[in-house]
Amino acid sequence: MLDASLVQFPKDTRRFQQFIDGRWTAGASSAEIVRQSPAHGRDVTAILVGTALDVEAAVRAARIAFDDGRWSGLPSSARCKLLRRVADLIRRDAEDLAMLETLEVGKPITQSRGEVAGAADIWDYAAGMAQALHGDSHNNLGDGLFGMVLREPIGVVGIITPWNYPFFILAERLPFILASGCTAVIKPSEMTSATTLRIAELAAEAGVPAGVINVVTGTGPVVGQAIVDHPLVDMVSFTGSTNIGRSTMVNSARHIKKVSLELGGKNPQVVFADANLQAAADGLVYGMVANAGQTCVSGSRFIVHRDVAAELQKLLLAKIARITVGDTLDPAVKMGSIISPVQHAKVLGYIERAKSDGAELLCGGGANTELLLSVLPTLFAETRPEMQINREEVFGPVASLLTFETAEEAIALANDTEYGLSAGIWSTNLQNTLQAVRRIKAGRVWVNTFMAGGPEMPIGGFRQSGIGRESGIYGVEEYTEIKSVHIDMGARSPWLV
Ligand code: NDP
């Protein structure tokens, strides 16, 4: 790894083709999208604008690679070894991958390095899952019958990913999908495609056969839509906004295609009066500003017991004041920029609306003028549940405070949302904690911590936050079909004698 203090802005724009059937290709594309670092406003990468013809070529390649068994027909030990090799190559190229992620997304370099290292660990874990996957047997069906339950890879999976954690989110899906024996056609966000293209290249270097991983770049309405609509794609794994998730589900219905969706959230952090407030303040601020708040599981509604609200507020403001917002290439910086001018304007719009709705601005409330496209950590008090700031996902470093008196009220406030992605609970009382764990509707719940975890644990949402689970054994099983097999043991009595 380079000396952290020597990180330099690269001189050249990195240009990528698409990766289809084991090789780089321009395909049918004739146009480019140039990406600027949102933190610097300088060109960093260029990708091709893929077309429906490119999707056709990629899906055909993935279909053939699946149907001829070059991947699903391998012993699981062989798949495991190849996926482990990918993990090793990620570690070899960690600095390059982290740099690409920082430049395209606008996140601090230290954070990108952590995500790349974490992603390599996920690939290692998922490699083992190739061997852990198994079916079941039923030896209790009587003397005449024996039952087996087989898990078979579902086939060709279309993977559509967002811009907030392009490399990490892909790691939470792709190696599990490959471990199950499926092949993939991936469409990354047009703003952040570089590390997805690099992973296809690294997998080929590791020895993953041609056609198993294909990456088509370009826009959602063209490339993403063509993947969702394609009859030879058996399943779609979509991560992004609830609106596009909904249309993905509707469009998948035409071919009764299975979908896995990880969508938005308006996630509560509940702080009981008996909580360790120092720890809670740290966890709340981390969950609010990590990745500049552009995290699906961000905690954006702080639901705090009335007795400790004033003290917690003081601790939160002291923590927020110490966050360094600045150049993403500076290893000391904790928070970088917002992904795009559109998203930047959207976040500032939410802040203005909260102010005009009567919320009290405690800190932040605008951009950091020293850094392009940044938003200062922003906290609102005196909010009401029905305000827009408590209902819609901002996807920026913005949170609001709500207070409660009884545990019943806290849980009702936590569940007062159409989403159900994540929740934090801060308490030293076992009963409060377990009641809240049981009753809050969310796919991921953290107790006295936030955004902790490992690839063993499933991820996904309740309600409008999604369908299906990624990661862990659940994330491999998600991409399998179940077949029940009934075997006569020689005792079958004829139907017609
Ligand atoms: P989108 O849902 O628009 O994009 C996610 C992915 O879907 C991208 O690759 C996008 O392509 C693709 N896509 C867009 N339109 C279609 C389509 N018609 N068919 C198939 N795929 C499509 O999210 P955004 O990036 O625009 O972010 C908007 C909001 O979504 C955020 O403000 C945030 O609230 C939420 N979000 C949630 C995330 C999560 O992790 N749960 C992650 C990111 C965003 P492309 O963008 O290249 O056109």
Identify which of 164, 192, 244, 346 to mutate to test ligand 1's pocket (most ligand atoms within 8 A of the CB). 244
CA 221 / ligand 1 centre spacing (Å): 10
Residue nearest ligand 1's atom 11 by CA:
220
Helix (H, G, I), strand (E, B) or coil at 490: coil
Share of the chain above pLDDT 70, in %: 99
Specify whether 234 is located in the same domain as 277.
no
Decide if 177 is inside a domain: yes
Ligand 1: centre distance to CA 103 (Å): 19
Confirm whether 99 is domain-assigned: yes
Whether 315 shows a pLDDT value over 80: the answer reads yes
pLDDT tens digits for range 452-493:
999 999 999 999 999 999 999 999 999 999 999 999 999 888
Say how many Å lie between the first and final Cα of the chain, rounded.
77
Please state whether beta strands 156-160 and 183-187 pair in parallel, antiparallel, or not at all (unpaired): parallel
Residue 48 lies in a domain: yes
State the pLDDT at residue 6: 54
Instruction: Judge if 259 and 273 occupy the same domain.
Output: no
The whole-number pLDDT of residue 3 equals 46
258 and 343: one domain?
no
Residues 244 and 299 occupy one common structural domain: no
At 368, the pLDDT band (50, 70, 90 cuts) reads: confident
Q: Parallel, antiparallel, or unpaired: how do β-strands 18-20 and 398-404 relate?
A: unpaired
Are 256 and 247 in contact by the 8 Å Cβ rule? The answer is: no
Look at the alpha carbons of 28, 161, 347, 357 in this order and tell me if their dihedral is positive or negative: positive
For residue 186, give every residue at least 6 positions away whose Cβ sits within 8 Å of its Cβ, in sequence order, or none.
158, 159, 160, 161, 170, 174, 196, 200, 213, 214, 215, 216
pLDDT tens track for 221-257: 999 999 999 999 999 999 999 999 999 999 999 999 9
Whether residue 455 lies inside any domain: the answer is no
The protein residue whose alpha carbon is closest to atom 29 in ligand 1 is 241
Copy the structure tokens of residue 124. 């290692």
| Coil, strand or helix at 40 | coil
Measured in Å, residue 188 CA sits from the centre of ligand 1 at: 10
User: Across-strand partners of 232?
Assistant: none
Dist. CA 3–CA 13, nearest whole Å: 22
Q: Is residue 217 predicted with pLDDT exceeding 50?
A: yes
pLDDT band for 1, please (50, 70, 90 cuts): very low
Within a domain: 492: no
Q: What CATH number corresponds to the domain at position 91?
A: 3.40.605.10
Residues 56 and 81 in one domain: yes
Whether the per-residue pLDDT at 132 is higher than 50: the answer is yes
**Confidence band (pLDDT; 50, 70, 90) for 370?**
confident
The H or E element containing residue 260 is strand 258-262
Residues 342 and 439 in one domain: yes
Cβ contact 209:70 at 8 Å: yes
CA atoms of 197 and 193, how far apart (whole Å): 6
Question: Which one of 101, 115, 172, 262 is the catalytic residue?
Answer: 262
Could you tell me if residue 1 is inside a domain? no
- Percent of the chain with pLDDT strictly greater than 90: 96
pTM passes above 0.85: yes
Please give the distance, rounded to the nearest whole angstrom, from the Cα atom of residue 403 to the centre of ligand 1: 32
Q: Are residues 256 and 393 in the same domain?
A: no
pLDDT band per the 50, 70, 90 thresholds, residue 5: low
262 counts as catalytic: yes
Last residue of a domain, one of 402, 422, 447: 447
For residue 495, report the phi and psi dihedrals to the nearest 5 degrees.
-75, -40
Q: Whose CA is nearest to atom 15 of ligand 1?
A: 220
Assess contact for 215 and 186: CB atoms under 8 A.
Answer: yes
Same domain? For 48 and 148 the reply is yes
Is residue 258 assigned to a domain? yes
CA of 245 to the centre of ligand 1 (A): 8
Pocket lined around ligand 1, Cβ cut-off 6 Å = 160-164, 187, 189-190, 219-221, 224-225, 228, 239-241, 244, 247-248, 262-264, 296, 393, 395
Mean pLDDT lowest among 40-49, 131-140, 169-178, 365-374: 365-374
Confidence of residue 369 (pLDDT cuts 50, 70, 90): confident
For residues 128 and 275, membership in a common domain is answered with no
Phi, psi (degrees; rounded to nearest 5) at 235: -155, 150
Work out which ligand 1 atom sits closest to the CA atom of 262: 41
DSSP 8-state class, residue 290: G
For ligand 1, mutation pick of 49, 191, 241 (most atoms within 8 Å of CB): 241
- Give the residue from 420, 447, 474 where a domain finishes: 447
C-alpha 196 to ligand 1 mean position (Å): 16
Residue with tokens 């899952």: 129
pLDDT in tens, 171-186: 999 999 999 999 999 9
Domain count, the chain: 2
Quick one: pLDDT at residue 49?
Answer: 98
Q: Tell whether 287 and 203 lie within a shared domain.
A: no
Query: In ligand 1, which atom is closest to the CA atom of 188?
Result: 9
Cβ of 282: how many Cβ atoms within 10 Å? 16
Residue range(s) defining the domain that contains residue 406:
267-447
Residue 164 and residue 300 in one domain? no
The answer to whether residues 18 and 77 belong to one domain is: yes
- 28 is a domain residue: yes
User: Ligand 1, atom 35: nearest CA belongs to which residue?
Assistant: 241
The residue nearest atom 7 of ligand 1, judged by CA position, is: 220
- Ordered DSSP codes for 448-486: SSSS---TTS-B--SGGGEES-BSHHHHHHTTEEEEEEE
Q: What mean pLDDT is predicted for residues 108-124?
A: 98
| pLDDT of 7 over the 90 cut | no
pLDDT value of position 205: 98
Q: What CATH number does residue 327 fall under?
A: 3.40.309.10
| pLDDT confidence bin for 115, thresholds 50/70/90 | very high
The residue nearest atom 26 of ligand 1, judged by CA position, is: 241
Q: What is the mean pLDDT of residues 318-333?
A: 95
Q: Whose CA is nearest to atom 45 of ligand 1?
A: 220
